[in-house]
Amino acid sequence: MENLLKSVEAFIIGLPPLLQMLLGIFAMIGLIKLFMFTVDLIEDRREGKN
């Protein structure tokens, strides 16, 4: 696991700054969508929908 994190970190550091920014933006959008999906799933279960 530690080797994977170091290789991902080396890959990101090797990218040009603009690509680093774009990668960060897309990662944040993905995290927000994952959070929204999780909240919707929890709300549907509370309402009794499957």
**Pairwise pLDDT comparison (34 vs 47), residue with the higher score:** 34
Q: Is 29 helix (H, G, I), strand (E, B) or coil?
A: helix
Q: Do the beta carbons of residue 34 and residue 45 sit within 8 Å? A: no
In this structure, the dihedral spanned by the alpha carbons of residues 4, 8, 9 and 13, taken in order and rounded to 10 degrees, is: 160
Q: What stretches of the chain adopt beta strand conformation (E)?
A: none
Q: Do the beta carbons of residue 13 and residue 21 sit within 8 Å? A: no
- pLDDT at site 32: 98
Question: pLDDT per residue over 9-40, tens digit each?
Answer: 999 999 999 999 999 999 999 999 999 999 99
